[in-house]
Amino acid sequence: MRDLATCGLDLLPPDVAYADIRVVRRRHEGLHVQDGRVSPVVDSESAGIGLRVRVGGQWGFAATNRTERAALGGLVGTAVGQARAAAGTGGGHRGLGDPVTTRAIWSSPVATDPFSVPVGGKVDLLLQASALMAGAASGGCRLTAEASMDFFRDHKVFANTEGALIEQTITESGAGLMATATGDGDVQRRSYPQSVPRAIRGQRGDFATAGYEHVLGLDLLGNADRVGAEAAALLAAPQCPSEITTLIVSGTQMAQLVHETAGHAMEADRVLGTEASLSGATYATPQRRGSFRPPCPVAWARSGSMTRASRGSGWTWCGTVCFAATCPAGRARRRSVRRPPARPGPTDGRGCRWFG
């Protein structure tokens, strides 16, 4: 991979003022169990090369999933041609800052290589967790019990024309549980350890840049019975009343709330208005920079459809902008949404209901 990166830079024509190239190879192993049935195990590899060039103050970019040297010539030609075609369109000749000349090799720490652990042992653990969740069903409900693990290893090489050559190997490991209870025309879910149960970029559960030791530390078997029982309890719980009240939000829910209400709102394409017709506008406009002070403080929600955070935590976004006021202890107050949110958990003795 290092040879591909340096070879690609060697093919650049003399009018390229700057260029950088990235070569990435990813391995993914995924295991999923549902109701005692094992889904086909995923064990896949993918790779690609991306090249950026600067010619006459204009940028060009090209990418390919071919990782043989024969593909580099076409990659360079496409990126350079794109930059040359942009000549005369304005906006170029801005400085790039200080040169990046770092040369380093780095790997994320791993105690137990997840790809060396036998698949059979991983599947057995998931089957046991699924059985424990299913056994916790009560009240005549039907409970679907899912358990999964995913492991990723990215090998990346970055090089530029200023002399940088950086090689990284990053290993990510994660796992999670999800119990779905159905009955009387209703559906309720409970997940562990994260409250985002659906797969996002192939990731389900809680992930860390670590090895199989992270999965063992999640203690799936120790939490499976509770997750199943709570899903069944949610199905039988009374509907949450429509009122102004105090919610106690778990740590993962609060992180998701901040991600949805502040993180997305401050994305550049949303701030500059280029995504308004796709996903909505934002309160974080350039005109408000340095002057906008939300009261109390307030975390505003972007307009649009219901988000993953709302499905997991009980927040229901309307078609217009609504907001939640956060309190110092990580609590939040719900304000006038059009539909009652998902059923809450138990109170803490002071009238505060747990969501998470």
Express each pLDDT in 192-221 by its tens digit: 887 655 555 455 788 999 999 999 999 999
**DSSP string across 100-168:** ---EEEEE---SS-GGGS-HHHHHHHHHHHHHHHHHT--TT-EEEEEEEEEEEEEEEEEEETTS-EEEE
pLDDT for res 105 = 97
- Cβ contacts of residue 283 below 8 Å, gap of 6+? 265, 292, 300, 321
Print burial letters for 213-252: b (CB count within 10 Å at least 16), e (below 16): ebbeebebeebbbbbbbbbbbbbbeeebeeeeeebbbbeb
Percent of the chain with pLDDT over 70: 78
| Architecture, CATH, for domain 2-236 | 2-Layer Sandwich (3.30)
Residue 169 — pLDDT band, cuts 50, 70, 90?
very high
Express each pLDDT in 313-339 by its tens digit: 333 332 222 333 333 333 333 333 333
Q: Which residue type is seen at 199? A: A
Q: What is the arithmetic mean of pLDDT over 5-32?
A: 95
Report d(CA 25, CA 264) in Å as an integer: 28
Cis peptide before 193 (omega within 30 of 0): yes
Express each pLDDT in 83-92 by its tens digit: 999 887 766 6
Report d(CA 5, CA 165) in Å as an integer: 9
pLDDT for res 300 = 38
CA 25 to chain centre: 19
pLDDT for res 295 = 52
Report d(CA 287, CA 302) in Å as an integer: 17
Q: What is the pTM of this model?
A: 0.74
Who has greater pLDDT, 353 or 75?
75
Give the gyration radius of the chain's Cα atoms.
25
- Extents of the domains making up the chain: 2-236, 246-355
Contact 301, 287 (CB under 8 A): no
